[in-house]
Structure 1
Amino acid sequence: MARRDTDEPEDRGRNRRGGIGDARAFTPRGRTTRDGGSFAGSEPDPQAEAELQRRRAELRMVRGGRAEEGRPPQRLGRVTGAPSARRPRRADDADGGDFDVEEAPRRRTAAAGRGRPAVRADREFIGRTQAARAREPRRGDRLPAGRGRPQDRRQRPVAPPPDPPKMGEPRRRLRLATAVALLLFAAIGVRLVQFQLADAPAFAAQGLEDRLDKIVLPAARGAIYDRTGEVLAKSVEARFVAVDPELVKDPRTTAVVLAPLLGKAPSELEPLLQKGKQEVSGAPIRFRWLLRGLSVADAEKVRALNLPGVIVKRDERRDMPGEDLAANLIGFTGTDLNGLAGIEARYDQLLRGRNGELQYETGNGDLNKPIPGGYRRETVAQPGSSLMLTIDRDVQWQAQHILFESMQKVKAVWGAAVVLDARTGEVVAQATYPTFNPANPGAAKPEALADNATSVVVDPGSVHKAIVLSAALQEGVVEPDSTVKIGPSIKKGDQVYWDTHQFPEGTKITLPGLMAFSSNVATIKIADKLGAQKLYEYQKLFGLGQPTGIGVPGESSGQLQAPEDWSGTSHGSIPIGHEMAVTPLQMAAAYAAIANDGTWVQPHLIRQTIAPDGKVTEPAPPKSHRVISAENAAALREIMEAVTTVDQATGRSAALAGYRISGKTGTGSQVLNGKYVKGEVGSFIGMAPAENPRYVVAVFVKTPGVGAGGKVAGPAFRDIMAFTLRHFKVLPSTVKSPSFVTHY
């Protein structure tokens, strides 16, 4: 075996390219050293090396594989064979002997016997390779002096032969192309199916939509009736007149012709007929309203003129047969008949109904006419439901009329009158001064549009004393025949409270006398015994300081002071109706509880709801709760009769011949934005007949100066109550009022 240089790495011999091992490994027939000369000392032959590389490449192609880099190829004698272990390696295998060559001679002989020309080619190739190897220094030979050690073959980088290009695979490409084509056709097919089955209805519907004309079929707005079925508000068919300014040929002449029919001046109409541009887009203005709600007869006259650019079409308007009758309660609608105020706004969804629609197919261009037998669909309009109120038309009219005349006499700023059914809580009438015409609400002042009975907030004044006596009777602080020792005044905190009818110190005043002369001193002393907490609880039980829920938009809640918020003067002011805020309707409902044997019933306006098909629906029963006992309520009603019967009593102006009247006068102030408004609010609230009350009437009057309740509100109460009792045929009292002792 050849000597190995100790400086050379141990694995160098296994990776070298040279010697008979390499030649034998890469010859196609697996030749051995017996088939050629020795390679020792041979010089490398570039041509041989190139030929060797070419042979290697051919062998890779024949075997269908590639020799792994860094390891010698397998022996050629047997492709799948393993190195032979039957004989030891020979010395001449040292340079390339990692492979067994035992089988090579037999394969060579067999090939030679068949005379294959590849054997001769291999023999010549190996011969040339051995000659080249003979010129190379062998491993272990000494080099001449002065020369460096020849580099090992592995240290000389030899560019690996390029891998041969892969052969094309037509079958694979064909299969891929077929799959892509099938996928493409499948996608096209799916899309076609989608167009035909899924999208076709949508495209057809869009095409139909482009050929359709639509006409809105307005739904009639529900009517509003009084308790007897008389119409308070209803919708009637009308016409609107509009204009397309681009089509008007002579604006001035057109305005002159239209003015008499529309009830407007030509100077008002002419600017509307002039051409103009839209502010945002700059496009020509093609539509302007001229008038809405025109009567059908006048609209037909306008249509007969056949004026260029003038449009006349169906419309609807709200008709109020009573004009301003209950206007502040009912409210009004806009030009599109949407509720804007009052009951019209509160129950707008119920009253308005749902518009219908007529769709029909038309041609294009000059054939823009309905197509006979074409598409046609009509959605029938659903009229709104109607409301029947608790208001009585006649009582309402009289209450407004009486209130108007009374307010004119005292030069009142505003007034409010409420008529309640004491047993049911129904609002029979609710009048406001000043009022307005709902057919033209724009012409009214803003303060005339509100319902004063629910929106105005006042401190009630002495009408609150009935609340104090009710609580005191119910809590046993006083009895109906009790007396209170009083003087001309009383001090609470830093405030002195005086009586208008002053009595000497030590005078004993009865409860009827307290009410007849509206004694502040006696009321404050009773409230002291009752206590602030109890008084506050009864105020809430009577419904003060909270909305009644009557159903009128904008109802105020008022405000009460809790006992912990009272000051020193509050113990004097609150019992006599100051330092608190209520609405006239709240006080009327509190007196109705006294008239109804001590049971408070929620005031309400809606009596029935009438569906378009005539079905009648009753509303839910009103809320109610007991405040005082029936016995105490009856005792208090008798005590309050002194207000209208005792000589020099504050409410003599409210007395009504033939009927016993229980009530109370009051003088307070209006509260606006948490502050008192200059002037006084006089009031009178009473019930009749006192022995068995049927109705409660409350009148509040705001005057610019001094306005005692008995003077400014008493007469209006008397007249309204008189008409109400006669209208509902309430029999006069059969028993006279008792005689009262007022003081000792």
Structure 2
Amino acid sequence: MPPRSEEPRRDATGSRRGSSRGAEPREPGVGGISDARAYTPRGRTIREGGAEQRRTPRSSRSGDPFRPALQVLDGGRAGRAGRREPAPAGEPARAGRRTTTPGGRAGVVRTVADRSAREPFDDEDEGPPPRRRPGPRRPAARRPVRKPRRPPRLGDAGRRLRLGTVLALTLFASIGVRLVYLQTVDTPAYADGGLPNRLAVVELPAPRGAILDRAGEPLAHSVEARYVFADPTRVKDRFATARLLSPLLGVPASELADKMRKRTLPGTDTPSQFVYLARGVEIGRAKQIMALDLAGINVHRDERREVPGDDLAANLIGFVSQDMNGLEGLEAKYDDVLRGQAGKRTYEVGLGDLAAPIPGGYSRTTQPKPGSSLRLTIDRDLQFMTQRILAKQMAQAKGSVGAAVIIDVPTGEVLAQASQPTYNAADPGKVDSPSDRDDAATTFVVDPGSIHKAITFGAALQEGVITPNTTLPVPNVIVRGGVPFQDTHKANGRTMSIPGMLAFSSNVGTIEIAEKLGKDRLIDYQKRFGLGQATGEGLPGEAPGRLLPADQWSGSAWGSVPIGHSVDATPLQMAAAYNAIANNGTYVQPHLIKETVGPDGRRTPGAAPTTRSVLSPANAADLRRMMEAVTTVDGPDGSATGLAAAVPGYRVAGKTGTGLRYDNGKKQPGEVGSFIGMAPAENPRYVVAVFVWSPGGGGGAVAAPAFREMMGYTLRHYRVPPSLTDKSPKFEVFPR
């Protein structure tokens, strides 16, 4: 028999088979290498296999070629050469059975059933089995079953894995939600966080609308220009810089040097870095300034208001500030229409030397909205000639103030409205007095005098108090309220016709007719003719005038009101009243605005003028025919007051007047001479009103000749044919 080997057998991995030295005992069923070895590839345990061997004959067991490989050797030691037979029934189970290994070595085969007899797979090596003495076999002693020690309870790995997974997913979900929130909700806030530091803003100015005449010719319009400014903190030598800029800007060098003096902003310690040197500089001149490359001097886009005619309609147009805000005249009245809305371009730029737009960066442009233009009813050529004639005639009366208005009869459009003195609207600061910029036609409040008599006679005709054939005895003087009223042309009590009263401007005859009319009806017709309220022509600051209420009439008012005293009116109001007579008795509100032209070219007509009936067409025609006596009567009894206003070739109806001027309720020295007329009298086309106030008198000598020239030019300008077939009627001043 070969000797028993002392070395344990090793498996294919090199480890000792059956040895569990140093390992903690494992609880059956929990897991371990011993349990893994206890199961065969066929899914049966050794115990099951042993039971099957006991039921199967030896011959069939020995024929299984895999059986030796499925056995577990006891420590790898050789057992007995022979096999132990299974214990007889009733005999206690032995610790093991001897068997022979394929290598011929004998060993003890442990089965699962053996575990009940001893501690399964002890760690210490078993020595060689003791020799048995011959004799009867004693049953093997049952070793006490020792309960295996339980390992320390550890956490469930699966639970820890699930918990960790949940925590990780929660963390990633929170991060994802936050990222989505930042990318969607808070994106503008974070994206724009540093944007202001990278933005550049360029203003896109909107041109101011133009003021045009009735033919579309510009009376005032805006052109592109430049303004020159200085940064005093960067100017190296302000005196040398001023000397270079002075001839280009037309500003004294001392004034420029003072502007460039270093100073701080009001109320702060911050140094001022901007000061205007000049506004509205021509582009060519600005290029010359930039070519000098002066430190601290720069230019920027500006707008300049140009008035091609200088003083042409300046008192109507007004002027604007350097910031293009209307200050006077139509520029102020319609500033919201003329002024455009500036736009701007905001874009992202690089920093430092790369201060240029960033392609694809932030950019937003608000387009400017140019202002609308005003097309007036003014005729530029007629306005020019009206101003020229008025200035020439007024040169005879020093220190005088004059106004002239020309109205298109059927429409009420103001074709010309001149004031004297006037000024250059392009340089409004160069005037002797701010009042020189006023529009005299709407702000010059006068006591109209005898031109008011046409209203009195018109009311009497309409109310049937008189007829064209009425005659009255007219004394030289009449007293009302203790105040004597007398005529310049003495009637000496003779009977005078209505045309004669108009021709010689009889105060006494007019007062007698007004007494038959009554003060209430006279006041009513004054209002119908447009007195006592502003016409609403369109100019700012228009005076409304004033009428004396009936309850305030004194005794003398019966004499003064009918002849145009104790009445405040403007030249435009009186011109509009005469236009009603010329327009067959229909009053038409005088107006200056013909239409508004939007920046897109769309035209919006001006507001329709107010109209109302004052006289019947027949009475208006009778009144016009009687008023022709003012410019035609010239006989042995005297000449009419308006012969100087006659226009050769045309029938003219009108009236002269001599009134007073009041300023803040105080009577001013001198007198106001006036003439208002219409032509052709048989079918009036135009009304011309001329007023001249002269402190030294003589205004009457100016008004009538000025009217003649203005009306003559107007009729020729619009090619009105002369009154060749219709001759002026013959009038009897003192019928027999």
2:434 is aligned, of 437, 446, 462, to 446
Does 2:545 align with 1:549? no
Does 2:323 align with 1:336? yes
Query: What is the alpha-carbon distance in structure 2 between the residues aligned to residue 676 and residue 420 of structure 1?
Result: 29
Contact 1:239 1:296 in 2 (8 A): yes
Contact 1:416 1:432 in 2 (8 A): yes
Match of 1:673 in 2: 664
Query: What is the alpha-carbon distance in structure 2 between the residues aligned to residue 593 and residue 605 of structure 1?
Result: 17
Does 2:222 align with 1:235? yes
Contact 2:693 2:699 in 1 (8 A): no
Write the deviation string for residues 655-697 of structure 1: whole angstroms up to 9, x where unpaired: 1110111000111111222222222111000000011100000
1:527 is aligned, of 508, 514, 525, to 514
Contact 1:666 1:708 in 2 (8 A): no
Cα shift at 1:284: 1.2
Q: How does 1:606-645 map to 2 (within 5 A)?
A: 606-645=593-632
Cα shift at 1:366: 4.5
2:705 is aligned, of 715, 719, 727, to 715
Match of 2:458 in 1: 470
AA at the equivalent of 2:211: I
AA at the equivalent of 2:713: F
Does 2:683 align with 1:683? no
Query: What is the alpha-carbon distance in structure 2 between the residues aligned to residue 326 and residue 579 of structure 1?
Result: 31
AA at the equivalent of 1:668: G
- Does the C-alpha gap of structure 1 residues 528 and 192 become closer, same or farther in structure 2, counting only changes over 3 Å? farther
Query: What is the alpha-carbon distance in structure 2 between the residues aligned to residue 614 and residue 398 of structure 1?
Result: 30
Cα shift at 1:466: 0.1
Moved more, 634-643 or 441-450: 441-450
1:702 is aligned, of 689, 693, 696, to 693
Write the deviation string for residues 626-679 of structure 1: whole angstroms up to 9, x where unpaired: 000000000000101111111211111101110111000111111222222222
AA at the equivalent of 1:322: G
Query: What is the alpha-carbon distance in structure 1 between the residues aligned to residue 230 and residue 216 of structure 2?
Result: 40
| Identity, % of aligned positions | 56
Q: Give the RMSD, CA atoms, in angstroms.
A: 1.8
- Does the C-alpha gap of structure 1 residues 289 and 738 become closer, same or farther in structure 2, counting only changes over 3 Å? same
Partner SS for 1:501: coil
Write the deviation string for residues 604-636 of structure 1: whole angstroms up to 9, x where unpaired: 111121111111122232110100000000000
Match of 1:500 in 2: 488
Partner SS for 2:324: coil
Moved more, 668-677 or 229-238: 668-677
Q: Give the structure-2-normalised TM-score.
A: 0.74
Partner SS for 1:247: coil
- Does the C-alpha gap of structure 1 residues 494 and 282 become closer, same or farther in structure 2, counting only changes over 3 Å? farther
Gaps of 5+ in 1: 1-185
Query: What is the alpha-carbon distance in structure 1 between the residues aligned to residue 257 and residue 196 of structure 2?
Result: 38
Q: Which has the higher helix share?
A: 1
- Does the C-alpha gap of structure 1 residues 194 and 449 become closer, same or farther in structure 2, counting only changes over 3 Å? farther
Cα shift at 1:502: 1.4
- Does the C-alpha gap of structure 1 residues 257 and 502 become closer, same or farther in structure 2, counting only changes over 3 Å? same
AA at the equivalent of 1:743: F
Does 2:563 align with 1:572? no
Contact 2:692 2:699 in 1 (8 A): no
1:358 is aligned, of 327, 332, 345, to 345
Write the deviation string for residues 683-738 of structure 1: whole angstroms up to 9, x where unpaired: 000000011100000000010123353x1200100001111000000011122211
- Does the C-alpha gap of structure 1 residues 206 and 415 become closer, same or farther in structure 2, counting only changes over 3 Å? farther
Match of 1:289 in 2: 276
Partner SS for 1:201: helix
Cα shift at 1:370: 2.2
AA at the equivalent of 2:647: L
Q: How does 1:28-39 map to 2 (within 5 A)?
A: none
Write the deviation string for residues 245-298 of structure 1: whole angstroms up to 9, x where unpaired: 111111111111111110122122111122122331132121111111111111
AA at the equivalent of 2:295: P
Query: What is the alpha-carbon distance in structure 2 between the residues aligned to residue 358 and residue 586 of structure 1?
Result: 50
Match of 1:47 in 2: none
Gaps of 5+ in 2: 1-172
Number of residue equivalences: 557
2:370 is aligned, of 378, 383, 387, to 383
Query: What is the alpha-carbon distance in structure 2 between the residues aligned to residue 188 and residue 495 of structure 1?
Result: 104
Match of 1:34 in 2: none
Contact 1:669 1:677 in 2 (8 A): yes
Match of 2:301 in 1: 314
Write the deviation string for residues 518-569 of structure 1: whole angstroms up to 9, x where unpaired: 0000000000000000000000000001011111011010000111111111
Query: What is the alpha-carbon distance in structure 2 between the residues aligned to residue 278 and residue 461 of structure 1?
Result: 58
Does 2:501 align with 1:514? yes
Query: What is the alpha-carbon distance in structure 1 between the residues aligned to residue 209 and residue 663 of structure 2?
Result: 36
Match of 2:723 in 1: 733
2:569 is aligned, of 582, 600, 605, to 582
Contact 2:668 2:695 in 1 (8 A): no
Query: What is the alpha-carbon distance in structure 1 between the residues aligned to residue 610 and residue 539 of structure 2?
Result: 17
Query: What is the alpha-carbon distance in structure 1 between the residues aligned to residue 328 and residue 244 of structure 2?
Result: 36
Q: Give the structure-1-normalised TM-score.
A: 0.73
Query: What is the alpha-carbon distance in structure 1 between the residues aligned to residue 241 and residue 574 of structure 2?
Result: 58
Partner SS for 2:257: helix
Contact 2:644 2:705 in 1 (8 A): yes
Query: What is the alpha-carbon distance in structure 2 between the residues aligned to residue 702 and residue 354 of structure 1?
Result: 43
Contact 1:667 1:707 in 2 (8 A): no
Partner SS for 1:258: helix
Query: What is the alpha-carbon distance in structure 2 between the residues aligned to residue 524 and residue 188 of structure 1?
Result: 102
AA at the equivalent of 1:362: V
Write the deviation string for residues 462-520 of structure 1: whole angstroms up to 9, x where unpaired: 00000000000000000001012111110110211111111213x11111110111000
- Does the C-alpha gap of structure 1 residues 493 and 199 become closer, same or farther in structure 2, counting only changes over 3 Å? farther
